[in-house]
Amino acid sequence: MQYQAMLRGAANRMAALGVIGGSGIYDLPELREGESIAVSTPFGEPSAPVRRGRIGQTDVFFVPRHGIGHTYSPSDLPYRANIHALKQLGVTHLLSLSAVGSLVESLPPRSLVLPEQIIDRTVGRRRTFFDDGVVAHVGIADPFCPVFRNAVREGAAAAGRAVEPRGTYVCIEGPQFSTRAESNLFRSWGATVIGMTAMPEARLAREAELCYATLAMVTDYDVWHESEEDVSVEVVIANLQANAEAASEILHAVAGAGLPARACGCSTALDNAVVTAPAAIAPPVRERIGLLLGDRLPEE
């Protein structure tokens, strides 16, 4: 067991950065010349072909979360295929760039937040790789990787961008925004920002043993806010563009500094997580989850 852990440790030294771009981030300018890779997975096709490139010494793989032209709603997204495709390509660290609404006065539009926690209010999404014949329970008490979050925080500092290093992200099903009563309820729970995609993405990233962090970028105050003027589409789009520029600078700093060593529990999240008896896992199921479990799936 120790030896296997050591082998995995060696594999982890080949780090690569995955980036999933949310609303307003449909490509990364520095990767436009990069190879476009069509990846298929046992969980379907990802939102779009994966774009590969290099920033500094770091291999970077990019997927536009909502697809080219923004065709997937948050409920319809191929979350499992996106994570599995990135895992196949060797991604170890995954940065999610996500547009969010702010639930607190102190974080106005264009604020950047690195949430520590998530409250999952989604109701209709496939949230695990382990179903239909195999059961696993992984821990997500802390859904974001503390080491990678810290690297993103340092990247933001190096880029001269202020980020709020704490906070709780409420993930709603959408596609509609919240009611005013819901928005106030989430505020009373101590939530900081609200969005529609962090779950099940964070769950699946943990099951795929990736170090996952979200850079949440505020486009507007959520509906709780009694602002004097209504938010116009133009203002939201201008905020999305400003946030995309900030994200690009931070991404450059993070990739340029090199990815942090995986001194965290993410790369061993599946150790001892599968509760199904190996002999009871049918061959097609083994094939489906083989990439995730590797040598931890004993022969039948």
Q: Which residues bind Zn ion (CB under 5 A)?
A: 145, 211, 264, 266
Please tell me which residue in 76, 120, 131, 220 is annotated as part of the active site.
Answer: 220
- Between 194 and 213, name the residue whose CB sits nearer to Zn ion: 213
Cβ-based nearer residue to Zn ion, 13 or 227 = 13
CB-CB contact of 63 with 18 (8 Å): yes
Count CB atoms within 10 A of the CB of residue 119: 16
The minimum distance between CB 120 and Zn ion, in angstroms, equals 20
295 is catalytic: no
Q: Is 76 a catalytic residue?
A: no
Min. distance of Cβ 146 from Zn ion in angstroms? 7
Q: Could you tell me the smallest distance in angstroms from the CB atom of residue 52 to Zn ion?
A: 22
The catalytic position among 27, 120, 222, 295 is 222
Nearer to Zn ion (CB atom), residue 151 or residue 171: 151
**Residue 83 Cβ, how far from Zn ion at the closest point, in Å?**
15
**Of 81 and 211, which CB lies nearer to Zn ion in the complex structure?**
211
Residues taking part in catalysis: 220, 222
